[in-house]
């Protein structure tokens, strides 16, 4: 089954952008997923294709009109999850990417200006997702982040089947360090255990490194990991 991504945006020419390169690009060419970037302006009801207006109550900036945005959503709606990328959303997690990648695809709404009129959000109840605690010029780059996180998990996208199970955030741990040739570089040697050929020792070293890095850098993840392992 082909995974389908529909993006509702004021700037459809921004797509596929980076999603047309590397893993995602090859998967797009091979039909593992499809992309349909739709211009929200096509649903404006005046000759100027107006999509925004001044906010009630005053204030800086403009707000995307609910009637235009809702019409764009209605035209794309087919049962796939509707996402709205916004700084107000909950933080995107690997579990979200896994869940969405396992489905038929997504519809992603990209906001601009000061955002979307709250009434259409209340009416459509999208899954509001943030890619971090910062503000972008619009939702397009955030949409690409969300899509890339999902696409790389689709069967056939990544060459090594184990890649997704050993990387950061698997089991609430950050990934262990990696090394390659040369075995010594600028006086820095590869850890001897990785040259030993002892697969059990290597696995134990990697698990220990992942645990220590997570404990030091992301105590929130480490707490979640500890809770999960305690339950088992």
Per-residue pLDDT reduced to its tens digit, 102-153: 999 999 999 999 999 999 999 999 999 999 999 999 999 999 999 999 999 9
Going from N- to C-terminal start, the domains of the chain cover 3-151, 166-231
Q: What is the pLDDT of residue 171?
A: 86
Q: What is the pLDDT of residue 169?
A: 79
Q: What's the token pair of residue 158?
A: 């990544």
Q: What is the pLDDT of residue 159?
A: 73
User: ∠ CA(70), CA(38), CA(63), 5° rounding?
Assistant: 45
**Model pTM?**
0.91
Q: At 17, is the secondary structure helix, strand, or coil?
A: helix
Q: What's the token pair of residue 50?
A: 């107006």
Topology of 166-231 in CATH? 1.10.1270
Q: DSSP assignment of 161-218, as one string?
A: TTGGGSSTTGGG-PPPP---SSSEETTEEPPGGGGS--HHHHHHHHHHHHHHHHHHH-
Q: What is the pLDDT of residue 160?
A: 56
Q: What is the pLDDT of residue 81?
A: 98
Rounded to whole angstroms, the Cα distance separating 189 from 185 reads 6
Rounded to whole angstroms, the Cα distance separating 140 from 130 reads 12
Instruction: Provide CATH code, domain 3-151.
Output: 3.40.1280.10
Per-residue pLDDT reduced to its tens digit, 39-98: 999 999 999 999 999 999 999 999 999 999 999 999 999 999 999 999 999 999 999 999
**In the predicted model, what is the mean pLDDT of residues 164-184?**
86
Q: What's the token pair of residue 78?
A: 């087919």
Rounded to whole angstroms, the Cα distance separating 106 from 4 reads 7
């Amino acid at each position: 089954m082909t995974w389908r991504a529909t993006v509702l945006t004021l700037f459809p020419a921004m797509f596929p952008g980076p999603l047309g390169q590397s893993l995602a690009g090859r998967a797009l060419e091979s039909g593992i997923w499809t992309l349909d970037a739709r211009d929200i302006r096509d649903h404006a009801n005046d000759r100027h294709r107006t999509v925004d207006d001044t906010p009630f109550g005053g204030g800086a900036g403009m707000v995307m009109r609910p009637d235009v945005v809702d019409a764009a959503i209605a035209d794309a709606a087919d049962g796939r999850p509707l996402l709205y990328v916004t700084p107000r959303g909950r933080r995107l997690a690997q579990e979200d990417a896994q869940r969405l990648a396992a489905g038929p695809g997504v519809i992603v709404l990209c906001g601009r200006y000061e955002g979307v009129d709250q009434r259409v959000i209340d009416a459509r109840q999208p899954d509001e997702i943030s890619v971090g605690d910062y503000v972008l010029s619009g939702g397009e780059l955030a949409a690409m982040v969300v899509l890339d996180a999902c696409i790389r998990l689709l069967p056939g996208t990544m060459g090594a089947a184990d890649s997704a199970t050993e990387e950061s955030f698997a089991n609430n741990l950050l990934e262990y360090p990696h090394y390659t040739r040369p075995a010594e570089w600028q006086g820095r040697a590869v850890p001897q255990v990785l040259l030993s050929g002892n697969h059990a020792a290597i696995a134990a070293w990697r698990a220990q490194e992942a645990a220590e890095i997570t404990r030091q850098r992301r105590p929130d993840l480490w707490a979640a990991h500890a809770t999960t392992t305690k339950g088992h």
